[in-house]
Structure 1
Amino acid sequence: MASHSPLFAIEGRVALVTGGSRGIGRALASGLLEAGCAVVVNGRDTAALDRTRGELADATGGTVHAVAFDVTDAEAVSRGVAAAEEVAGPLDILVNNAGLQHRAPLLDFPDDAWRHLLDTNLTSAYLVGRAAARRMIPRGHGKIINICSLQSEVARPGIAAYAATKGALKMLTKGMCADWAPHGLQVNGLGPGYIRTELTRPLVDDPDFTAWVRRRTPAGRWGDPGDLIGALLFLASPASDFVNGQIIYVDGGMSSVL
């Protein structure tokens, strides 16, 4: 459903959501569709993307396209962003959501897993953000929203590598702002807390961990992917035209308390 306020009106805008076939990415794509955007969902699994595209189109009645490409490969990214604009039109909004987790003690953390996390969680945002910005800057406008994390600020045992990538993504967001804000782009981050998705299902199903999340979060619960949509729409809309280089944490208050 489109917003009634012109400050939040994004009807007719074109958005690309990386990692959009499931979890948080799928929820964010759905939120943009409900707000009236045409959305391109990205991933590497063509079958999963096509399935998501059809389900989102059926659920929202919106215009959804699927473009598969590897967000860690510079040449594939260049071709993929061009393909997204060919099928949907000039990009107004980019949501850099692609990411993954690998939990292991830091002393035993596999080197290949470290590199894979860096490529997927950080380098992909640099590559896709750069490709999108090269097209947005000549047009003088664009919104880039990097999906950071509560772990952009804090860490827990076993996720040091993930926290390193998300902390770096926070600073990449600020660096993109420094370089691209003079050209009319707004680059901000969205930092989810503990969100209930298929990827976090093992943690949700662990009664001790879920009890810890509820105790540690002032809101007293896990977040749902839909909890992120309001902040996303703010960052994607004219309401945030003078907001740049900021990270909005949607974490039920966890980052604000000891």
Structure 2
Amino acid sequence: MKIALAQINSTADLEANLGLVRDQAARARDAGAAVVVFPEATMCAFGNPLAEVAQPLDGDWARRIRALSAELGIVTVHGMFTPGEDGRVRNTLLATGPGVEASYDKIHLYDAYGFAESDAVTAGGSIATFELDGVVFGLSICYDVRFPDLFRANAAAGATVNLVCASWGDGPDKAEQWEALIRARALDTTTFIVACDQADPAASGRPATDSTPLGVGRSAVISPLGRTLACLPQGPELTVVDLDLAEVEQARRKLPVLANARRIGPDGRVVAPGATEAEAG
């Protein structure tokens, strides 16, 4: 299955961002991709009043994305903002296209490195996956990549490909952390990791001036055994990778980390299979 990564710089202009999605999705379709993955915050870049642009999943933005995905015959996955609680928004992924409709609200909010996402965003409460041609994809957003349990839960739900859509904050060692984390999540779960970040805004002439996470580029595809199959530079770029899904089963025979995993209870002891929460401590 061919998967495209569209490493873009979104802005505050929703119409311009929609034009980017259309252009990149058309190029991905023409290259034979079945799925094109866009970054977190494709709808509108961070650093803008998100509550003013947030729309429900049946709103104008999502309807137009669905229409262009159907027109082009390709599944698109991208970040948008939907209404949350108490005037906040939800940081949402929408996956849509022929035979696919799924959404995911970011569970782990980026309250780190001087940025407080929870001030403006309501956290999600459950994982989400979608299936295309027998392949299950797990969804995650940016800071989620620091939390292995989410990726293991996606794998337990059948995912053999985990998508990470990000607007990764820049700073000392941050790009190196991004690269280490996406490789680690592949090895944790023996799944493909398809990680699409916003392009580094400096490469487009608008460097970040504060802690707002705008992107470092370096989108990548990692194999189930941690091999880098594709890695983009910092600036805007589209790439298409042909995934050999048989590699997942091969990796799991060699490295059965999911089958070998033992659950550790809050008391630090191994939990017997099938134990209740009370029995687990």
Shared fold, TM over 0.5: no
Instruction: Provide the TM-score with structure 2 as the length reference.
Output: 0.36
* TM-score normalised by structure 1 residue count: 0.38
Q: 1 or 2, which has the higher strand percentage?
A: 2
